[in-house]
Amino acid sequence: MSAKGRLKSFRKLLAHARDILQVDVGFQLWDGSTVPESLPPDAFAICFADEGAIAALIRKPSMETMANLWVSKRIDLKNGDLFKLIEQKPRVRTREIRKALNKWLAFNTARKFWFVNRGGPWPLDEQPDEKPSDGSREENEQNVQYHYDLSNAFYTLWLDKEMIYSCGYCTDWDNDIDRMQQNKLEMICRKLRLKPGEHMLDIGCGWGALSFYAAQNFGVTTVGVSLATQQIEYAKAKAERLGLSDRVQFELTDYATVEGQFDKVVSVGMHEHIGIANYPTYYATVKRIMKPEGLFLHHAITRPAKKDAKTFRKGNEEFKLLTKYIFPGGELDHIGNTVTMFEQGGFEVHDVEAWREHYQRTCRHWHDRLLANYDTAVAEVGEDKTRLWLLYLGGCSITFERDGARIYQTLVSHKRRGPSGLPPTRADLYR
């Protein structure tokens, strides 16, 4: 079959699919032609750069294939983004689509592309297969640095002004990213009931924003720990610049090796990295380093629970891609197990708050800011990484919106007899 014949057959299939799906999206093909032929220049369209991309999808129709084709721009979007694509929902039901589909046309088109070379590049193929973290410092450091040491300049392009890389908190759904992150820092400090003179440990401190905020606004001294070299270097330099080095310290170290006793302990967005098999170490470490009257705030993404542990651990293809290409070694808990492990570990759970919709908005802000700084990001980390991060941030926003992932803040203390020392209501959090 000639290349011209394959193109003609694929065009016919696209036109047929567009008709039965009843979606407002066009297609631009590798020879410059469009489906429909009268597609306006400003219309939203899916673009195919070469016929090898079609052959690859036919032979291996998976999310991994799509991710490779997207990152390499062999499949792209014109006059729109991932969110606009998701809006293009078929106006007919799946059952009706199956009935209306010309199966001979689909089969015949696939047959014509079956032996076409898949072409290239395939930039994600070099990434090793994903496996849960073994909990060692060496592997934790490798996994953390893969993601967080990508480039401080890159993260500056789309994070808020304080460089906070975790879920923000809306007091109004229209809050911008800077307001959301300030709200979050304030809420965490209030939940911990920080008092002047207390000593706080910030596990997975990132670029140090929470430690700085707690020291400046609540009068505490802090220690922040991370395994990301660039983050720690940035945070130390900022502490010097702000004149806070005597009150805010940062250490490049594994959380499990931290020594000392702390009045308050906080972990924001770090639990996701340690792996389910290593959860006992996490809870035991917090219990060991937190003073008897202390409080611990645990902030972590979760997945909805499944019918049993085996099904839950299996996960889905999208999450496997996320851990392979974005967060190697990462695993997510479900909130039921989180609460159970706190109680089994000798803690009392005082408060659990869901922030799912807040993270949907946070990720959307990040995606849009990165897209607005696309050219600068490409110059900093390359087009492959920029497009991969756009896919990750956009995909996360959609996942949180659809309740495919959740996020909770959980406040606990050591289990003990007698009063907890907490206020009788949550009113102090919202004053």
Q: How far is CA 382 from CA 27, 82, 386, in A?
A: 26, 20, 6
Shared domain check, 365 and 222: yes
Distance CA 201, CA 222 (A): 6
The reply to whether 91 falls in a domain is: yes
The reply to whether 284 falls in a domain is: yes
| Beta-sheet strand order (sheet of 406-414) | 248-252, 221-226, 199-203, 262-268, 290-302, 406-414, 347-354
Least confident range from 183-197, 313-327, 399-413: namely 313-327
| pLDDT mean over 59-73 | 94
The reply to whether 203 falls in a domain is: yes
Shared domain check, 194 and 73: no
Q: What is the pLDDT of residue 1?
A: 66
pLDDT at 143 over 80: no
pLDDT at 130 over 70: no
Distance CA 200, CA 294 (A): 10
pLDDT at 431 over 80: no
Question: Can 396 be counted among the known catalytic residues?
Answer: yes
Q: What is the pLDDT of residue 388?
A: 94
The reply to whether 96 falls in a domain is: yes
Q: What is the pLDDT of residue 229?
A: 94
Q: What is the pLDDT of residue 354?
A: 98
pLDDT band at 103 (very low <50, low <70, confident <90, very high): very high
Shared domain check, 147 and 7: no
pLDDT at 245 over 90: yes
Shared domain check, 375 and 235: yes
pLDDT at 379 over 80: yes
The reply to whether 395 falls in a domain is: yes
Number of neighbouring beta carbons within 10 Å of residue 425: 8
pLDDT band at 131 (very low <50, low <70, confident <90, very high): low
List, for residues 192-222, the tens digit of each pLDDT value: 999 999 999 999 999 999 999 999 999 999 9
Shared domain check, 199 and 330: yes
| Beta-sheet strand order (sheet of 26-28) | 34-35, 26-28, 45-48, 75-78
Distance CA 318, CA 66 (A): 11
| pLDDT mean over 213-240 | 97
Shared domain check, 391 and 261: yes
Question: Domain boundary residue among 80, 113, 146?
Answer: 113
| pLDDT mean over 265-280 | 94
CATH number at residue 205: 3.40.50.150
Domain of 88 in residue numbering reads as: 3-113
Structurally, the chain folds into a number of domains equal to 2
Shared domain check, 213 and 258: yes
Shared domain check, 153 and 97: no
Beta bridge partners of 265: 201, 296
The reply to whether 120 falls in a domain is: no
The H or E element containing residue 226 is strand 221-226
Shared domain check, 267 and 177: yes
pLDDT at 325 over 70: yes
Shared domain check, 318 and 245: yes
The reply to whether 130 falls in a domain is: no
Task: Determine which one of 167, 205, 363, 396 is catalytic.
Answer: 396
pLDDT at 128 over 80: no
List, for residues 3-56, the tens digit of each pLDDT value: 999 999 999 999 999 999 888 899 999 999 999 999 999 999 999 999 999 999
Shared domain check, 330 and 260: yes
Query: In sequence order, what are the residues at sequence separation of 6 or more whose Cβ sits closer than 8 angstroms to the Cβ of residue 293?
Result: 263, 413, 414, 421
Shared domain check, 406 and 348: yes
Listed residue (367, 407, 393) closest to 167, CA to CA: 407
**H helices of 208-305, where?**
209-218, 229-242, 279-289
Q: What is the pLDDT of residue 146?
A: 81
Specify the amino acid at residue 77.
L
The reply to whether 129 falls in a domain is: no
Query: pTM here?
Result: 0.94
Give the percent of the chain with pLDDT over 90. Answer: 81
Q: Which two tokens stand for residue 336?
A: 């039921």
